[in-house]
Structure 1
Amino acid sequence: MLKRNLFARFILLLLPLLLLAFVVHLVVLSSKDLPLFGNLIIRSYVINGVLAIVIFGLLFRFRERLKNQIGFLFMAGSLVKFVFFFVFFYPAYSRDGDMSGQEFAAFFVPYAIALFLETFYASRMLKILEESPED
């Protein structure tokens, strides 16, 4: 077993971190008298969180069977995130012909947090697999 279930630890760090980032994001928007829930901010945090959990969950689930392809699967997960961005966010963000800094931050902040944690935990998972004895 991967040292007390790495997937559970990933989720237990990702969700509070995204929630904290969301609250800080709202505080910053409020301090600048900007609309709190514009720019699809809730959808962005939810979709990025769900996608991170699903993608890392799939990597974790197939970690032993597809150990040599984990990097490609990780990149495929990034491709899925880009598809979601272009389907669910880009049309609204580019409606006026320009993506504002607020629109960029609404998507990029949760995306970056999720990507960092996915990368960190995927790296740990591969290290643990490398160190584990072959059966």
Structure 2
Amino acid sequence: MKKATLKFLALLLLVILVIFAAHLFILQNMGLPIFADRIVLSYVINYALAATILIFIQSKFNKKSSHTGFIFLGGSGFKFLVFFFIFYPFYREDGTMATSEFAAFFVPYATCLILEVAYLSKQLNNQDF
């Protein structure tokens, strides 16, 4: 694995931990339960999937760089499948999805997605053709 990839994964972990702490702080200040809505599982799964997808893309980057976008989209689709199979049934048990339930999944998902896109676009822009 490349040194740049390891640095990015460390940065991603640091950012996701800071966002997680801020998320818990906001929940606490709003008087909501801080460890409800499978929030810890959501952050862990989103980080693990982002890291796995990024490592997989990096392994295919030089061999089939024209497929990088498709691999990324496939990974994003896989993340949505994980949401619908692991989180969605739990969130819909009471018939509605609360804002805190949506945020428990979407905040780490969006954080990882934004950082992944920024890192991968930088990698693609620095590629020699």
| Bin for the TM-score computed over the shorter chain | over 0.9
Deviation at 1:6, TM superposition (A): 2.5
The equivalent of 1:51 in structure 2 is 49
The equivalent of 2:35 in structure 1 is 37
Give the TM-score of the pair, scaled to structure 1: 0.91
The equivalent of 1:120 in structure 2 is 118
Which residue of 68, 71, 74 corresponds with 2:69? 71
Whole-Å Cα distance in 2 between the matches of residues 28 and 117 of structure 1?
22
Which residue of 11, 21, 24 corresponds with 1:23? 21
Whole-Å Cα distance in 1 between the matches of residues 103 and 124 of structure 2?
31
RCO comparison, higher one (Cα < 8 Å, 6+): 1
The equivalent of 1:83 in structure 2 is 81
**Stretches of 4+ aligned residues off by more than 4 angstroms:** none
Q: Match of 1:18, as an amino acid?
A: I
- When the two chains are superposed, the root-mean-square deviation of aligned CA atoms in Å is 1.4
* Identity percentage of aligned residues: 41
Give the TM-score of the pair, scaled to structure 2: 0.95
Whole-Å Cα distance in 1 between the matches of residues 85 and 4 of structure 2?
31
Gaps of 5+ in 2: none
Give the secondary structure class of the aligned counterpart of 2:10: helix
CA contact (8 A) 1:6 1:121 kept: no
Which residue of 104, 109, 114 corresponds with 1:106? 104
Deviation at 1:9, TM superposition (A): 2.1
Deviation at 1:102, TM superposition (A): 0.2
Whole-Å Cα distance in 2 between the matches of residues 106 and 77 of structure 1?
20
Deviation at 1:104, TM superposition (A): 0.5
Whole-Å Cα distance in 1 between the matches of residues 34 and 55 of structure 2?
31
CA contact (8 A) 1:6 1:125 kept: no
Query: Aligned residues, how many?
Result: 129
Higher-Rg member (1/2)? 1
Give the secondary structure class of the aligned counterpart of 1:62: helix
